[in-house]
Amino acid sequence: MSSVSEPLQAPAPPQPKDYKSALKPIWCPGCGDFAVLNAITKALAHQALPAEDVALITGIGCSSRIAAYASVYGFHGVHGRALALAAGLKAARPDLAVLVAGGDGDGLSIGGNHFLHACRRNQDLTYILMDNQVYGMTKGQASPTTAADWTDSKLTPHGTGITPFQPTSLALAAGASFVARGFSGDPNGLAHLLVEAMQHPGFAVVHVLSPCPTYRPEQMDWKKVVGPFDVEETSDPMEAMHRVQADDGMSTGFIYRDRRPAWQPASQAERSDLPAIEAEFSL
């Protein structure tokens, strides 16, 4: 505690590293997820958010390990349920800034239903979908965003033969009110998107291309093809849908933003108390 006689000083603005935990990531060298972590801490520092007022909720996967690497309140939950954990947390604690992060498997395979319903519910959450088009943690199987002809998994030796999802299209069709795409190769750009996503009043989906050099070494070439969208963001969902459908999935930037108010649990009932409620049981 500072003694009374010390001169008052404005606290130093927080730095990104202040939001990092002491834990050493288990990620492989070169994994895109390192940069996502950096972008998150930058975005938090930029907003100078007190670390204790931020929660980072994840599922299971390499990407989902990110919760423990940030020094905020974290929950490393079970596979696919991060958005449900976060929905409960945010409804109970609207005062917290709640970030959710996880992989393409976590969010679109096992967690697909919660993704749909989170988009529809439009709670004030920021969802960081770390897409490497593979299940990294379980050693390289196809995910819902993997190209149909990717044959490197022994589970699907001829490729899945199934057209991948476009996460941004799904988000739009399901009703998300903010959709953007970032790239781990551009952590500053990503941090900027994250700041805006957090400022957005409703459910914000940030689709992040985050390569897995271990199981998708060819993704190391993403840096050659990723670039900004050549159009501005829109508030027309159909227009946004057009753009993402026309795109090769490699353009980054803001896609869609509709500033309608976030959903919150109903609170218009007249306040009562337990004795009054119990009185209803009397004959």
Ligand X SMILES: Cc1ncc(C[n+]2csc(CCOP(=O)(O)OP(=O)(O)O)c2C)c(N)n1
**Which residues of this protein are in contact with Mg ion, per CB under 5 A?**
103-104, 132
Tokens of 162: 């199934």
Residue 153 touching ligand X (CB under 6 A):
no
Q: Which residues are bridge partners to 131 per DSSP? A: 209
Comparing CA positions, the residue from 178, 51, 58, 69 lying closest to residue 106 is 58
* Shortest Å, Cβ 148 to ligand X: 17
Q: Which of 140, 142, 75 is nearest to 108 (CA)?
A: 142
* Interacting partner of 180 out of ligand X, another protein, ligand SF4, none (Cβ under 5 to 8 A depending on kind): none
Classified as helix, coil or strand, 213 is coil
Q: Which stretch binds another protein (CB under 8 A): 104-112, 202-210, 218-226, 243-251?
A: 104-112
Q: What is the DSSP string of 13-57?
A: PP-GGGGB-SPPP-PPTT-THHHHHHHHHHHHHHHT--GGGEEEE
Verify binding: residue 180, ligand X, rule CB under 6 A.
no
From the list its own copies, ligand SF4, another protein, none, partner contacted by residue 132 (C-beta under 5 to 8 A by kind) = ligand SF4
Residue 155 interacts with, from another protein, its own copies, ligand X, none (CB under 5-8 Å by kind): another protein
**Contacts of another protein in 158-217 (CB under 8 A):** 160, 214
| CB of 21 vs Mg ion, minimal distance in Å | 22
Question: How many Cβ atoms are within 10 Å of 122's Cβ, its own excluded?
Answer: 22
The DSSP code sequence of 49-94 is --GGGEEEEE-SSTGGGGGGGBSSEEEE-STT-HHHHHHHHHHH-T
CA dihedral 243, 245, 249, 250 (to 10 degrees): -30
By CB under 6 A, tell whether 61 contacts ligand X. Answer: yes
Binding mask 100-139 for ligand SF4 (x = CB under 6 A): --------------------------------x---x---
Query: Which range of residues in 34-42, 127-135, 176-184, 273-281 is near ligand X by CB under 6 A?
Result: 127-135
Write each residue from 244 to 283 as x if it is in contact with its own copies (CB under 8 A), else as -, in one continuous string.
-x-----------------x--x-xx--------------
Site for ligand SF4 in 11-70 (CB under 6 A): 27-28, 31, 33, 62
Residue 271 interacts, among its own copies, another protein, Mg ion, none and using kind-specific CB cut-offs from 5 to 8 Å, with: another protein
What b-and-e string marks burial along 184-219, b requiring 16 or more CB atoms within 10 Å of the CB?
A: bbbbebbbbbbbbbbebbbbbbbbbbbbbbbbbeeb
Per CB under 6 A, residues contacting ligand X are: 60-63, 79, 102-106, 130, 132, 134-138, 143
